[in-house]
Chains A and B, each alone.
Chain A
């Protein structure tokens, strides 16, 4: 007597319960339709990607231009504000008794401003995840 018959003989109720209760879902017509629907969706996506590589590239370029404009606009606004407020700032420095640091700042100001500006720009590009895909564009 093999193990299968032996188990069914010794534990008929358990064997019967296992046969009756272990049930998987049915692979019916609906199942097959759903598979083909998924395949159709994949085909459509593949066709869309194959037909429009140029459109994808144009979209990336547009994003780049927008981000550069965005960063540039913020920079211009900050520069204009500083320019407008400069007389006030300059007047405040001697009054506060910070002549020596102010003079040092004045002499090093251009270099500091350029460094800070470049760091801000790089940080902005990094945050906008632009650097990687800018390289991808090979502009």
Chain B
């Protein structure tokens, strides 16, 4: 039983506007978070999330109930963002997300896990700059993780990738962030 079963009655009555309104209230922020984690531009993320909801509204009459409504929305949002990124030449492959689990870090990290780094109290970081230094797949996962109140389960569902892949990408992504942050910390 999902939390969207109450919407099935509305769907049967073909009250698509009401279904969309409910979906926006429940998942609007998540869809926006997902779009933002992929494009990292507030205006563009809003535009793409809105486009995704319009596409969702168009898809509702053909909804067969096999997938969860939220999953369908996330898929539409991801695909909308991916085609926009493709158009802009900033391709992010979802395959890269799943491949990353088996990819044993292309660039070796300078910092071992045990070293306490980037932890000095009072150090200030430009997170945007730090995230820019990450490969796209790590950046998406790290951004979405912090936007989703640090829930790896939510991130896995929204990106439609296995939980372990999310954990692995998150671990490596933050390790890379810490490595990049170290010089910044020394400079500050």
Contacts and interface: CB of A to CB of B under 8 A. Distances in A.
Asked whether A and B interact, the reply is yes
Tell me which of B24, B119, B123 has the highest count of chain A C-beta atoms within 10 A of its own C-beta.
Answer: B119
Interface in B21-61: 21, 24-25, 28-29, 31-33, 35-37, 42, 45-46, 49-51, 53-54, 57-58
A107 interface: no
B128 A21 contact: yes
Nearest to B24: A32
B142 interface: yes
The interface centre, meaning the residue of A24, A31, A42 with most chain B CB atoms within 10 A of its CB, is: A24
A32 B50 CA distance: 8
B32 A31 contact: yes
B127 interface: yes
B50 A34 contact: yes
Given A3-B171, A25-B36, A25-B45, A14 B181 contact: yes
Interface string B98-124: 000000000000000000111111111
B147 interface: yes
B143 interface: yes
A27 interface: yes
B150 interface: yes
A21 B130 CA distance: 11
Contacts of A21: 125, 127-128
Contacts of B128: 21
A24 B32 contact: yes
Interface in B87-104: none
A137 interface: no
A84 interface: no
Interface in A12-68: 12-14, 17-19, 21-27, 31-32, 34-36, 38-39, 42
A24 B36 contact: yes
A7 interface: yes
Interface in B151-182: 152, 167, 170-171, 174, 177-178, 181
A11 interface: yes
Given A25-B42, A27-B28, A17 B50 contact: no
A19 B148 CA distance: 10
B178 A25 contact: no
Contacts of B152: 4
B69 interface: no
Interface in A72-87: none
A112 B101 CA distance: 72
Please give me the 3 A-B residue pairs with the lowest Cβ-Cβ distance, nearest first: A27-B28, A24-B36, A21-B127
Interface of A: 3-4, 7, 10-14, 17-19, 21-27, 31-32, 34-36, 38-39, 42
10 contacts: A3-B171, A14-B174, A17-B124, A22-B142, A27-B24, A27-B31, A31-B49, A35-B50, A39-B17, A39-B57
